[in-house]
Amino acid sequence: MTQSNGRNALITGANKGIGLEIARQVGKNGHHIFLGARDPDRGEAAASTLRKEGIEARFVHIDLNDPATITAAAAEIARFNDHLDVLVNNAGIGDAGDGSPGTADISVVRRIFDTNFFGSLAVAQAMLPLLRKSVSARIVNVSSGLGSLTLNSDPDWEFASFKPIGYSASKAALNMLTVHLAAALKLEGIKVNSADPGYTATDLNHYSGAQTIPEGAAAAIRLALLGDDGPTGGFFSVARPEPW
Ligand SMILES: NC(=O)c1ccc[n+]([C@@H]2O[C@H](COP(=O)([O-])OP(=O)(O)OC[C@H]3O[C@@H](n4cnc5c(N)ncnc54)[C@H](OP(=O)(O)O)[C@@H]3O)[C@@H](O)[C@H]2O)c1
């Protein structure tokens, strides 16, 4: 069994992909893991996998498109702990109906925003009372280089030809949530940062990404475990600060 460090963490969309690896590594660091997932069977299975690896993990039902599950998740966490130390807003979607701003299906764009931006905002709001009770809370928003206005404006950027308006704009909005929340919470010592995983082979891109899942999870893990001397209000890949 992993030695507990007395801290706890909620990771959304943690039943697979980058989220599951964040849960695994933050758990191995000694955090008790609240493993957020929208599907109870997949969530329970992932939590059970982590427990077999010696990690204290408990499934929490959170569907970013269902506000009642978010409220209930905060109440459930509060029953186990009077505080929350780490929130990783990892859950996110892309959609084949997304695409160029001239042609993308607007209902698809709205659906992507509902999950990637409004869902993450709702989770952050619901968890704030618990995060405020931590002595050193961290919030990590799992963003994307596709959410960078600067990189999208560079015609020589390696992903310059890939411009799904819904996904990219939702991640740019998530980055704004990082900046605003970091400013609002700075005096309370709560650090808020965006992570850029990099192009990682997961279900999201039908395993076309160049990086492994542990490589994709590394930036968010580092930000989840930031020391008190770490930054707030920034956007980071594992290698460097990324431009907004
Ligand atoms: N892979 C990349 O190259 C890459 C690059 C940059 C950023 N990212 C970001 O990294 C994060 C993780 O993505 P991934 O690559 O690991 O993709 P993934 O394997 O498809 O995992 C996405 C996770 O989000 C969950 N999810 C989706 N909609 C949800 C909702 N409404 N409520 C709760 N959970 C929901 C999924 O649950 P189900 O299993 O139930 O569908 C799954 O657990 C996302 O925010 C993504 O945008 C990924």
| Residue 12 within a domain | yes
Determine whether the shortest distance from the Cβ of 234 to ligand 1 is under 6 A: no
Euclidean distance between CA atoms 201 and 172, whole angstroms:
22
Instruction: Give domain status of residue 36, yes or no.
Output: yes
Any bridge partners for residue 10, and if so which? 34, 87
CA dihedral 107, 207, 168, 231 (to 10 degrees): 130
Does residue 207's CB lie within 6 angstroms of at least one atom of ligand 1?
A: no
What is the per-residue pLDDT for 3? 87
According to the model, what pLDDT value does residue 20 have? Answer: 99
Q: What is the dihedral of CA 163, 164, 170, 171, to 10 degrees?
A: -50
**For residue 133, is it within any domain?**
yes
Pocket test for ligand 1, best of 18, 70, 151 (most atoms within 8 A of CB): 18
Active-site residue, 207 included: no
Nearest to 235 by CA among 192, 203, 184: 192
Is there a domain that residue 3 lies in? no
5 CA distance to ligand 1 middle (Å): 27
Please tell me if the CB atom of residue 232 comes closer than 6 angstroms to any atom of ligand 1: no
* H or E, element range at 110: helix 106-113
> 203: CA distance to ligand 1 center in Å?
8
Place of tokens 């002595």: 135
Instruction: State in Å: Cα 87 to ligand 1 middle.
Output: 15
**Per annotation, catalytic residue among 52, 171, 186, 207:** 171
Q: How many residues does the chain have?
A: 244
**Does any domain span residue 241?**
no
For residue 73, is it within any domain? yes
- Any domain includes 113: yes
Strand order in the sheet with 8-11: 57-61, 32-37, 8-11, 86-89, 138-142, 191-195, 235-236
Say which CATH number the domain at 162 has. Answer: 3.40.50.720
Dig out the tokens for 192 from the structure: 């808020």
**What Rg, from alpha-carbon coordinates, does the chain have?**
17
Assess whether the C-beta atom of 199 lies below 6 angstroms from ligand 1.
Answer: yes
Among candidate residues 167, 186, 191, 207, the one labeled active-site is: 167
DSSP for 131-173 reads HTTSSS-EEEEE--GGG-HHHHT-TTSTTTT---HHHHHHHHH
Active-site residue, 28 included:
no
What is the whole-number distance in angstroms between the Cα of residue 220 and the centre of ligand 1?
Answer: 13
User: Which atom number of ligand 1 is nearest to the Cα of residue 201?
Assistant: 1
Establish whether residue 66 lines the binding site of ligand 1, counting it when its CB lies within 6 angstroms of any ligand atom: no
The predicted pLDDT at position 203 comes to 96
Residue 18, SS3? helix
Q: Is the CB of 18 under 6 A from ligand 1?
A: yes
Residue 1: per-residue pLDDT: 80
- Residue pLDDT tens, the chain, 244 long: 888 989 999 999 999 999 999 999 999 999 999 999 999 999 999 999 999 999 999 999 999 999 999 999 999 999 999 999 999 999 999 999 999 999 999 999 999 999 999 999 999 999 999 999 999 999 999 999 999 999 999 999 999 999 999 999 999 999 999 999 999 999 999 999 999 999 999 999 999 999 999 999 999 999 999 999 999 999 999 999 999 9
Q: Which of 61, 8, 14, 2 is nearest to 217 (CA)?
A: 14
Q: Is the CB of 164 under 6 A from ligand 1?
A: no
Number of domains the chain contains? 1
What is the domain range of residue 57?
Answer: 8-236
Q: What is the pLDDT of residue 46?
A: 98
Report if residue 242 sits inside a domain.
no
